[in-house]
Amino acid sequence: MEITATQDNECTILTLSGRMDATTTVEFDNAAQAVLKEGHTHILVDMKDLVYMSSAGLRSLLSLAKLTKAGQGRLCFCCLQPMVAEVFRISGFDRMLSVHGDREAGLAALRA
């Protein structure tokens, strides 16, 4: 998995590509924790190039959601590919987490 972190004003965007599974979630956890340690509390996870997500990936996202909430931050997801969107739907994450169709909508939700 490849992770790119960029800033858009007060929001941090984590763009994911590849596969998020048991072997790659450590990379995601480390990147997310680094963002939080830097004091960034508004995070958008852009999944436009993420082609696969396992239950280990879901656990990592849930952990990030809890950490973000504990730090009084906000977390949104955008651009889910069909397979990843299906995993979100089956697991109920699409109802628990803030999910948006495109990056602009996700950023707008973070700023609201």
Our count of domains for the chain comes to 1
* Confidence tier at 18 by pLDDT (50, 70, 90): very high
| Nearest-angstrom CA–CA distance, 10 and 18 | 26
Q: What is the pLDDT of residue 96?
A: 93
Mean pLDDT of 1-11: 95
φ, ψ for residue 59 (rounded to 5)? -60, -40
Q: What is the pLDDT of residue 5?
A: 96
Tokens standing for 8?
């858009």
The residue segments making up the domain with residue 32 are: 2-111
CATH of the domain at 52: 3.30.750.24
* Average pLDDT value over all residues in the chain: 96
Q: Model confidence over 40-67: pLDDT tens digits?
A: 999 999 999 999 999 999 999 999 999 9
Q: What is the pLDDT of residue 44?
A: 98
pTM of the model: 0.95
36-41, Cβ contacts within 8 angstroms, sequence gap of 24 or more: 36/67, 36/68, 36/71, 36/73, 40/7, 40/11, 40/12, 40/73, 41/68, 41/71, 41/72, 41/73, 41/74
Per-residue burial over 37-58, b if 16 or more Cβ lie within 10 Å, else e, is eeebbbbbbbbeebeebbeebb
Mean pLDDT of 80-85: 96
* Confidence tier at 104 by pLDDT (50, 70, 90): very high
Q: What is the pLDDT of residue 83?
A: 94
